[in-house]
Structure 1
Amino acid sequence: MRNVLISGAGVAGGTLARFLAREGWSVTVVERTPGPRTGGQAIDVRGVALDVLDRLGLGDRMRAVRTRMRGMSVVDGDGHELLRSEEHTFSSGRLDSDDIELLRDDVVSILGEATDVEYVFGDSITALTEEAHGVRVEFEHGGFRTFDLVVGADGLHSVVRRLVFGPEEDFIRHLGQYLAIFPTANFLGLEDWQVWFRHEHTGGVAYPVRDNTELRVTLGFGSDPLPRLTVPEQKRLIAERLAGVGWEVPKLLEAMAEADVFYFDAMAQIHLDRWSAGRVVLVGDAGYCASPLSGQGTSLALVGAYVLAQELGRAGYEEAFAAYERRMRPFVELNQALATENPEGPASDESVERAKNAISLG
């Protein structure tokens, strides 16, 4: 039986695991966190990525847990409404579209219910050595195993990419922003409605989830690349950058200080000349992160995992990796371009429509 190690239990890793297990692969997924990741923002699944959900057999389940926003407002520091729309939101686009918006933790949870897949939480890869008939993988908590193939699906700061392709700074392209995301109680009383705020070089959004019982909050600011910070340092920096911003931002900062689930990172993209080396291949953000500013990171992860699994079912790994990259590169390039098309907001509907369908699943 062919065996594969997937590093990362997120959208790309979970999708690939399900498809490969279905084709008879022995699949192991290693994830450095103690369990499935919680929190995160609402994410979009668009265009051909919806077909991938259906081919997974999960389309109906995913659509059942989609967000149900009625619209959005944009306010200034005094809470005055600057813009209002019941036709679209900045996060998910047109509300009458077939595209769906879901919480990242819901997507990961549903994907993680794959049968015949071994999940190893609380561990990570420390070394990869290609041998004659496989890859010897050493783990942080000791021991080693040998796999036919290794897949890096471990995100923007991929360990697999660093071990095989080199340091992150060789491939990362910063987009000049940082975002923090956290959940809190719905103390704003929002009902299926997003509220965005902007003030000079800062901004953010609050929107209700879980039947309006909870808020997901995103706070952001413009910045050149920062050094690595601890979580308390990240929270202090955000509080400093957003100090003096009006509306409900002081309350949101108080909620952030108390949040146990918290994400903070640069808005950045990954650009590599190749996504595979020997028996190791990258998928999703590890190979071609488009950043949340593109709105297409999840769709790229879903489609990339599907195409990779499809090609591995057709040929040996060398031919499969080459075909995967040949098919995906034009799709990736169009979707990465969405993040930089409009520095002041989302890309145009026309650009999104073109990019989200720019590949044939076969």
Structure 2
Amino acid sequence: MYIHEKENWTNFFWDNDKLSPILASVRHLQGRLLGRMESLGFDFIERATLESLILDVVDTSRIEGEFLNTELVRSSIARKLGIENADFIKTPRNIEGIVDVVLDATQNFDKALSETRLLGWHNSLFQTGFSGYQQIDVAKYRSGGMKVVSGNFGREKVHFEAPSADRVPYEMEQFLNWLNNDTSIDLVLKSIIAHFWFVTIHPFDDGNGRIARAILDMWLAKSDNSKIRFYSLSNQIFKEHKHYNKIIEETQKGTSDITKYLEWFLGCFERALLASEQNLEIILDKAHFWDRHKSTNINERQRLVINYLYDNYSKEVGFLRTSTYAKLTKCSTDTALRDLQDLVAKEMLKAEDSGKKTNYVIISPKKIRIPKINNEKTSAANI
């Protein structure tokens, strides 16, 4: 028996004694990070927000098995936010759509979430009227049943069966009324409850997970009362997506006591904030780097590789070689060598002799080291 089959299923309750300590920790981290961000100045806030939004867009899609080109996502967000020197690159509709949804949720968080707005989000995600090769109802609630399944054909496992289609309009009316009008719950808790409530109704033929996480991000932005983005919960959820799917499934088969679900989600959010605190250093270094070189003329291959190195930052000491550059940018080794030597001449990279081969390392404003890319595993498809 699923939770939505029970009477008054949305009368959720939880154990405050269990949740209060972790909620207090989350709120403290939010305040500390936001305060640090606000002290950085407009240019750095803008760049840090851009990096966090890129993670949100890329990873909310990765959770659903869709892998987007990071550079195209970057270009789309920068252009829509009006960030200076944003390069115009034609981006496909699927990227433009999810970018529009995430930006509307996080940058217009102070506006009510109406049914019309929600249907607009769905239309943005599925502008062709298809999900893959399957035609779906777009910008309208589903007209048929909905099951969440996994496994091969003939051996499917049903994880969840959503409410019948005839119940969806009523359930969504109740959900949106609560979402926009109930002020009795802490906004962080409310964002997490809203996510669960929405995915349990599962009102659309497809896109329910991405829209649920957009609602989550929207109410987290309300909890910050800021358009500044300094963390990506979708990034952390992707790292823990097996636990994420498991806790949702368990809660959908449970009772209206959602303590365990809230406890896990608050922990996930806390881990996202702690990761963001660590990642802020690399984001700031990257911002300083591009600020230092804002007048430096480089080509798209060079920009792509430097961004790739920053985006794949880790604590490992690393370097870049000519062969890796060529593989990443799909150019010849001669072209790669010319590009790299040009970056050295412009003091963006430095060359380090390691015997038979030359390693190229970013000249970091904060003296950090950018990690190496594994030459055997690097694929241009990952860019």
TM-score, normalisation: structure 2: 0.27
More helix per residue:
2
Larger fraction in strand:
1
Q: Which of these two proteins has the greater Rg computed from alpha carbons?
A: 2
